[in-house]
Structure 1
Amino acid sequence: MNTVVLGAGAVGCFFGGLLAEAGHSVTLIGRAVHVERIQAEGLRIETASGRRWVRDIAASTGLECLKGASLVLCCTKSAQIDEAAQFLGARLNAHVPVLSLQNGLTSAERLRKALPNNPVWPALVYAAVGMNEPGVVAHRGGQRLCLDARCRIEPFFNVLSDSAIECQLYADMEAMRWHKLLVNCALNALSAISQSTYGALLEVPALKTWLGELIRECVEVARACGIEVGATLEHDVLELMQAMAHQRSSTAQDLARGRPTEIDEFNGFLMQKGREHGVLTPINTTLYTLIKALETPSA
């Protein structure tokens, strides 16, 4: 299977690298600074146990390789999804499946609307990865993709699961997507505003009480939208913070690098749904407003 990764940042390079290591044909489409390094030296993956190079992998800044794809991993940021959809719509053959690896709930739907002749599947990413330098992925834990149970019959499922990617299938994918959304709403902005790791946040005495209030607000919006996310959400959030104690959120990393965040897909989305269903969202609104203020360049 010829896999093309569109938007090959940390997530795309990591999962593309795993596929290439398993012997599959992979082309990474990314920024020139990464592509040039990968073309020259291969993709480097750094872990706690050491480093390794994936040399049998292609990289490009152009889009022409999309024409020969038999699977696309769309790994752009959510804000770039409409542009990605235009690229795919102009070049991708009909019936080629697209996996949407973005955060939030809107990206896969927007891709489906733009690509009526292609199956589009949302995939939830559970992997702590970052780009330490051009062409170098730092992997700190996890290599799991959560997929709709119906993907089991798709040819790409065996390709993924045979490539050291831990694939988990869920009958109620919508509930899983909401669960991850609410976890992101609970953690991303808080880590970003304070520029703190999750472990440091756990040391704040008032955190658990405040976090409980935020999660209850999120759950109320989800229920108004007809989604039951389960009673373990608060426990899951705290467990994740402990497991990733040395990590900062993706939103924190975006702010630190002066890049736009995905806050519109997190707390901004909860605000919007709250307004639609008459649910007040004061904590989400505060977090959203603060991140937007921090995104604004100083005069």
Structure 2
Amino acid sequence: MHTVIIGAGGVGGYFGGKISNSGQKVTFLVRGKHLEAIRTKGLQVHSIDGDFVTHPFLTTDTITDVDKADLILICTKSWQVKEATAQLQPILKENTIVIPLQNGADNAEKVLSVLDKNHVVGGLCKIYSKIEAPGVISHFGHTPEIIFGELDKHKTDRLLRVKQIFDKAGFSNRISDDIHVDIWSKFMFITTVSGLGALTRATIGEMYASIELRAILRATATEIYEVASAKGVAMSPTSVDGIMTFISKQPFDATASTQRDIMEGRPSELDNFNGFIVEEGKKLDIQTPTNLFIYSCLQPMESRARYKS
């Protein structure tokens, strides 16, 4: 089985690195200094679960160099999904499986706008990780996990083939009973802590410890729940309580990747998070004042970062 990783940041670098380190055939499609570092020194993963160095089958920035894939993991940022998907045609076989793993609620839909539905499986991941230096990935919190499932909720043989790859790689993974619920639950968490974290420059623990900020976190999550429910996602009535409990159990000093991107002046997934909820709320005639406030406050910084890039 040949796995192709599109993007080798904190997500693609860690999970792709684990698959490669287990002896499986892995190709990384990556650019710039990261590409050269992996080619010359291998991919180094510094992890709280144990460090390792792996030398992938191929690391390249040219899609035409890549062998046909059995599994493709799209690990770019949310706003890059369509562009990344559009380049995949040369490496697709009839039964190639494509799974987007980045944060966001509509990534599978973005992939479906480019590829036939027979290729697409929904997915998400849970991990605290980042690029520490070119060719070096740092995993610093949370037990890494990939959750995946068919968009029509069916249990299929191809899901078992994917699970075999992940099981051999040695990281936690599970087949979802309803991938839409799992995606929106993760989205509720990451959007709730990312925007407010960027606005306050506070860690997750600091925000939760503040009675006032905790109330804003809950209001953000409640609006996301209302939008998801209106879109037909079968969210549990206790979803918001569950997310608040989950937030309370995060490492006190933890921050989200989008928060770090905004704070460090890089383009972020703001439009795909709070901005997405604002736009979906307008379509569905649902008021989202908390998300609108957070998005409006951060949008000038986002525009500045994108102009510079």
Same topology, TM > 0.5: yes
Q: Deviations over 1:206-246 (max 9, x none)?
A: 12222222222222222222234220433433433432322
TM-score, normalised via structure 1 length? 0.92
Per the alignment, residue 297 of structure 2 pairs with 290
1:105-154 CA distances to partner (integer Å, 9 max, x unpaired)? 22212212311175111211011111111111111232201111646511
Q: Distance in 1 between matches of 2:233 and 2:27?
A: 37
- Distance in 1 between the 2:26 and 2:266 partners? 27
Paired residue type of 1:177: I
Match of 1:239 among 212, 222, 246: 246
What 5-or-longer segments of structure 2 have no aligned partner?
Answer: none
Unaligned runs of 5+ in 1: none
Does 2:187 match 1:181?
Answer: yes
SS in 2 for 1:71: strand
Indicate yes or no: 2:167 matched with 1:161: yes
Contact 1:98 1:118 (8 Å CA) reproduced: no
2:96 matched to 1:100?
A: no
1:268 alignment partner in structure 2: 275
SS in 1 for 2:88: helix
**TM-score, length basis structure 2:** 0.89
1:101 Cα deviation from its structure 2 partner: 0.9
Distance in 2 between residues matched to 1:117 and 1:172, nearest whole Å: 17
Corresponding position of 2:62: 62
Match in the other structure for 1:198: 204
State the secondary structure of the residue aligned to 2:27.
Answer: strand
Look up the SS of the partner of 1:95 in the other structure. strand
Cα deviation, residue 23, structure 1: 0.9
Moved more, 136-145 or 239-248: 239-248
Q: How far off its partner does 1:49 sit? A: 5.8
Q: Given the superposition, is the C-alpha separation of residues 264 and 286 from structure 1 closer, same or farther in structure 2, using an over 3 Å criterion?
A: same
1:224 aligns with 2:230: yes
Contact 2:185 2:239 in 1 (8 A): no
Cross-structure match for 1:124: 124
Q: What secondary structure sits across from 2:267 in the alignment?
A: coil
User: Per the alignment, in what secondary structure is the counterpart of residue 93 of structure 1?
Assistant: strand
Please tell me the residue identity of whatever aligns with 1:127: I
1:226-277, CA deviations, whole angstroms, 9 ceiling, x for partnerless residues?
2342204334334334323222111112123432111222112211221122
Residue number in structure 1 paired with 2:263: 256
Greater shift, 139-148 or 206-215, is seen at 206-215
Aligned-residue CA RMSD (Å): 2.1
Q: How many residues align?
A: 299
Cα distance, 1:30 vs structure 2: 1.0
Find the aligned partners of 1:256 and 1:269 in 2 and give their Cα distance.
Answer: 20
* Alpha-carbon distance, 1:288 to partner: 1.2
Identity %: 27
1:69-120, Cα deviation, whole Å (9 max, x unpaired): 2211111111111211220134433321111112212221221231117511
